[in-house]
Amino acid sequence: MRLAGARVLVTGASSGIGAATALELSARGARLVLSGRDQEALADVAARTGGEMLPADLSDPSADLAVRAGRVDVLVACAGEGWSGPLARMSGGTAERMIAVNLTAHVQLTRLLLPGMLERGRGHLVYVASIAGVVGVREEAVYAATKAGLLAFAESLRYELPAVDGNGVGVTAVVPGVVDTPFFARRGRPYTRRRPAPVAPERVARAIAVAVERDRAEVYVPAWLRLPARLHGAAPGAFRVLARRFSP
């Protein structure tokens, strides 16, 4: 799908991967609709990209972002929240909010935006998940579950919405590893490991743009993450042994 001239809704556009994606897509000629909670940061991204601002808290069911956005050719679901620590110490409200923002909101957005895409015969849906959703991560059970749900949602839609020769609605799942964004500070525990080294959010943004233009079903950033993902799928017992050994 051509990004030039396409109307693209980016959630979580006020920082991190979402902000980097907005800048990348703007450089490729997309017309942007930017959603995020931090209005000041969102205004800065809008000023740099010429995008339309739609501030929204995706944990609030009354924030009807799809109606406000109008026609959308491409949805890039970047918004997400994390929390790190033992599950027994997590509050119910934290779990509910994370599920709402990371998964439920994007399922509902898709449900509302998809009929228009199908009517026009074209569109693309991008879901930014995480390697945590593929292999699981210690003390991030709820976050990993929301990202696993997003991956399963994307895979199921891919069977339902085949895009053939550039016609129809394409679906892409993006699986980043550690990305250098404010996410880790906000989850309550900074990233302190030397390896793997965090990648720049701009690298993920470029992968998203290329995936839309080339209709790629699945993208890992960095690409070597496919190896642990495949090992987990092929030999989960061996993967768990290694994970326990090398987990901090």
pLDDT tens string 147-181: 999 999 999 999 998 766 556 899 999 999 989 87
pLDDT of 229 > 80? The answer is: yes
- Please compute the mean of the pLDDT values over residues 114-129 and round it to a whole number: 95
Percent of residues, the chain, with pLDDT higher than 70 = 94
Q: What are 12-51's pLDDT values in tens digits?
A: 999 999 999 999 999 999 999 999 999 999 999 999 999 9
Question: In whole angstroms, what is the distance from residue 16 CA to residue 202 CA?
Answer: 9
Q: Which domains are seen in the chain, by residue range?
A: 7-246 (3.40.50.720)
Reference 148, options 131, 164, 125, 169; nearest CA is: 131
pTM: 0.91
The partner residues of 34 in beta bridges, in order of sequence, read 10, 53
Q: 111: which 2 tokens?
A: 């449900």
The segment with the largest mean pLDDT, out of 16-25, 59-68, 237-246, is 16-25
Query: Which pLDDT score, from 0 to 100, does residue 97 have?
Result: 95
Task: Name the pLDDT band for 217 (thresholds 50, 70, 90).
Answer: very high
Residue of 143, 159, 191, 220 with catalytic role: 143
CB 22 within 8 A of CB 32: yes
Query: Which pLDDT score, from 0 to 100, does residue 6 have?
Result: 97
168 CB neighbour count, 10 Å cutoff? 18
Question: In whole angstroms, what is the distance from residue 65 CA to residue 160 CA?
Answer: 24
Residue matched to tokens 């991008």: 126
164 CB neighbour count, 10 Å cutoff? 8
Mean pLDDT of the chain: 91
Active site residue 143: yes
DSSP string, 91-120: -HHHHHHHHIIIIIHHHHHHHHHHHHHHHH
Residue matched to tokens 């990348």: 24
Reference 57, options 72, 74, 73, 42; nearest CA is: 42
Query: Which pLDDT score, from 0 to 100, does residue 2 have?
Result: 92
Q: Which amino acid is at 102?
A: N
**Buried-state track 59-88, b at ≥16 Cβ within 10 A, e below 16:** beeebebbeebeebbbbbbbbbbbbbeeee
